[in-house]
Amino acid sequence: MILEVREIYKRFGGNRVVEGVSLSAEEGEIVGIIGPNGSGKTTLINIISGTVREDEGDIFLAGRKINNLKPHQRAWLGLGRTFQITRLFSNLRVLENVLIALHYGGRKRAGRRQALEILEMVGLDHKADDFAGSLSLAQRKRLELARALALSPKVLLLDEVFAGLNPQSVKEIVDLLERLNSERRITMILVEHVLKALFSLTKRVIVLAEGKVIYEGDPEGMRESKEVVKAYLGERYLKNEPS
Ligand SMILES: Nc1ncnc2c1ncn2[C@@H]1O[C@H](COP(=O)(O)OP(=O)(O)OP(=O)(O)O)[C@@H](O)[C@H]1O
Ligand SMILES: [Mg+2]
């Protein structure tokens, strides 16, 4: 297993946000995490990447326990992430945003050429000299992805990369993720509400509700789980989710 998360618990004040969650991913696998708002998905991503400290539980990356490592140390070991709310430097240029990520990732001598290569990977090289603040949402998501890729991740944690995008942009990012997964064998953990896009990328999903795993398996079985329909899908079926 490239990533193994065992029995994670986290509470904020009296609020139990993650309760005994375990998950693992094999090298090259794509795993989906879904669940209602507030079910603990982002908190779990934050715990794996190290920005939030778990109360209990263990995290292993390629067999190495990483609980006690800081976020940047985890990043150096190959754990990349994107943020649900993009964290870009709007007042800097697109290329500079990637350069900063390269330097953070230990590539102190990386220059314009390396940054451009990464921008090319995500289809944003033509925007290299624009300010990040001038990008569309879809482009900001690509830049967020480029920044994660600058650290040459083995495992990429993606928190709602499709949120707010139109169907065409969703499809383009699905294709991009597929390519990164097959060409670079990047393992991906995708937190997502856009289920159609998620299911086109993976057949293995984990459903969280109130901090607990209530289902793990393929999307078909998930639709038959009474618990999942009650906690999550029911509401979506009624809304007749367009995606
Ligand atoms: N730093 C924090 N301090 C206190 N409570 C927090 C903190 N971060 C998250 N929470 C709470 O923990 C719960 C889970 O939040 P989290 O962001 O993990 O949910 P989520 O599944 O990612 O939701 P969404 O689908 O809306 O993004 C929520 O009740 C949230 O208010
Ligand atoms: Mg979230």
Query: Quick one: average pLDDT of 203-225?
Result: 94
pLDDT, one tens digit per residue, over 39-86 is: 999 999 999 999 999 999 999 999 999 999 999 899 989 999 988 777
Identify the band that residue 8 occupies on the pLDDT scale cut at 50, 70 and 90: very high
pLDDT, one tens digit per residue, over 123-135 is: 999 999 999 999 9
Whether 213 contacts 225, CB under 8 Å: no
Residues ≥6 apart with Cβ < 8 Å to 230: none
Residue minimizing CA distance to atom 8 of ligand 1: 43
Is 42 near ligand 1, meaning CB less than 6 Å away? Answer: yes
Entry pTM: 0.92
Query: Quick one: average pLDDT of 75-99?
Result: 91
The torsion angle over the Cα atoms of residues 227, 232, 237 and 242, rounded to 10 degrees, is -150
Among 10, 12, 53, name the best residue to mutate to test ligand 1's pocket (greatest count of ligand atoms within 8 A of Cβ): 12
Is 237 near ligand 1, meaning CB less than 6 Å away? Answer: no
Looking at residue 190, its pLDDT comes to: 97
Helix H or strand E segment including 43: helix 41-49
DSSP track, 15-41 = EEEEEEEEEEE-TT-EEEEE-STTSSH
Look at phi and psi of residue 152 and say left if phi exceeds 0, alpha if psi is from -120 to 50, else beta. Answer: left
Tokens of 71: 């976020």
Looking at residue 234, its pLDDT comes to: 76
Distance of CA 146 to the CA centre of its chain: 13
Percent of the chain with pLDDT over 90: 82
Is 12 near ligand 1, meaning CB less than 6 Å away? Answer: yes
Query: Quick one: average pLDDT of 223-234?
Result: 87
Per the model's pLDDT, the better-predicted residue between 108 and 66 turns out to be 66
DSSP track, 173-197 = HHHHHHHHHHHH--EEEEE-S-HHH
Compute φ and ψ for 83, nearest 5 degrees: -105, 145
- Domains for the chain: give ranges and CATH numbers: 3-78+153-239 (3.40.50.300), 93-152 (no CATH)
Looking at residue 236, its pLDDT comes to: 64
* Cα(103) to centroid(ligand 2), Å: 27
pLDDT at 110 over 80: yes
Query: Quick one: average pLDDT of 114-124?
Result: 95
Helix 94-104 vs helix 137-149: angle between axes, to the nearest 10 degrees?
30
How many CB atoms are closer than 10 A to CB 199? 17
pLDDT at 240 over 60: no
pLDDT at 112 over 80: yes
pLDDT, one tens digit per residue, over 37-49 is: 999 999 999 999 9
Eight-state DSSP code of residue 149: H
pLDDT at 243 over 50: no
Per the model's pLDDT, the better-predicted residue between 80 and 235 turns out to be 80
Query: Quick one: average pLDDT of 101-112?
Result: 85
* Cα(147) to centroid(ligand 1), Å: 24
pLDDT at 217 over 80: yes
- How many residues does the structure list for the chain? 243
